Amino acid sequence: MWASFLEEIPRFFTYYNGIFLLQAGARTIGLSAIGCIIGFAIGFFLAIIRISRERSFLPMRLFSINFVEFFRRVPFLVTLMLIFFVCQALKLQLSVFTVAMITVCLIASGFIAEIVRAGIESVHITQWDAAEVLNLSMAQKLRLVIVPQAWKVILPPAFSFFLSFIKDTALASQIGVIELTYTGKVFNNKGFSAILVFGTILMMYFIISYPLTRFGRWMERKLAISKH
C-alpha cells in the first residue's frame, strides 16, 4: 500500500493539479468572504429593523425575525437545495457558483444579523436616550453614537463566524461548485487514493483557516485591551 502511495505523489502534485487546487481554494475563500461582506450589509439592515421600536415597522420586524431564524435553523445543504430549485423554477439560468453565492449571502446575513443585534444591544440604553434628547435622527444616532461603540462587540464574533463559514462552504460542492471539496471528489474519482486526496484537501483548508484563526485571536486580544 505504501508503495502505491509513494508512486502516486508525483502524479498528484503536478503543476496543473496545483493550479486547479489553488483556483478551487480561491473559490472557497471567495464564497465565504463575499458571502460575509454582503451578509454583513444585509444583516446590519435586518438588525436595525429588528431593534426599532416604531409601530409602523412591525411587519418589517416580523419579516426580519423570520428571515433570520429561518437561515439560522435550516442546514446549509437544505437551504442550498431550496435556492437551487427555486432559481431553476424561476428559469433564472444561473451558474452553480452564483446559486451558491446567493445561498451563502442569505445564510451569512441570518447569522450576522444576530451578531450585529447583540452588538447594538450591548450599548447602554441611556446612550440612546441621550442621543434622542439631543434630537439626533435615527441615522445620526447609529452613525455617530451607536455603531462606533458597537463595532468592537460585533467584530470578534463576526470574524469567528467568517472562519466557521469557510468550512461550511464545503457543502457547495454538492451542486457542483468547483471549490476545494469538489476537487477532492474529482481527484478521488480519477483514481488517486482517498487518503492522499482528502488528506491534501484537509491540509488546504487548514492552511487557509489556521492563520486566520490566529489572527482572529490576536485581534480579540487587541480589542479587549483597547476597551480598558
Cα separation of 192 and 186, whole Å? 9
Stretch that binds other proteins, among 8-16, 33-41, 95-103, 180-188 (CB under 8 A): 180-188
Buried/exposed code over 105-142 (b: 16+ C-beta within 10 A; e: otherwise): bbbbbbbbbbbbbebbeebeeeebeebeeeebeeeebb
- Among residues 9, 127, 190, 218, which is the contact residue for other proteins, using CB under 8 A? 127
Count other Cβ atoms within 10 Å, centred on residue 146.
21
Nearer to other proteins, 40 or 161 (CB): 161
DSSP 152: H
Round to whole Å and give the CA distance between 207 and 132. Answer: 48
- Residues 128 and 125: their CA atoms lie apart, in Å, by 5
Q: Which is nearer to other proteins, 1 or 15 (CB)?
A: 1
Nearer to other proteins, 52 or 193 (CB): 193
| Residue 79: CB minimum distance to other proteins, A | 7
Nearer Cβ to other proteins (15/90): 90
Q: How far apart are the first and last CA of the chain?
A: 58
Instruction: State the nearest-atom distance from the C-beta of 161 to other proteins, in Å.
Output: 12
- The whole-angstrom separation of Cα 140 and Cα 188 is 56
* Least Å from the CB of residue 80 to other proteins: 9
19 lies in the binding site for other proteins (CB under 8 A): no
Burial category of 186 from C-beta neighbours within 10 Å (exposed 0-12, middle 13-18, buried 19 and up): middle
The correct pick among 193, 216, 220, 223 for binding other proteins (CB under 8 A) is 193
Residues 43-102 that bind other proteins (CB under 8 A): 65, 69-70, 73-79, 81-82, 85-86, 88-91
Min dist. Cβ of residue 26 to other proteins (A): 17
Cell representation of residue 148: 462606533
Q: Which residues bind other proteins (CB under 8 A)?
A: 1, 65, 69-70, 73-79, 81-82, 85-86, 88-91, 124, 126-127, 129-136, 140, 144-145, 148-149, 167-168, 170-171, 173-174, 180-181, 184-185, 188, 193-195, 198-199, 201-202, 205-206, 209-210, 213
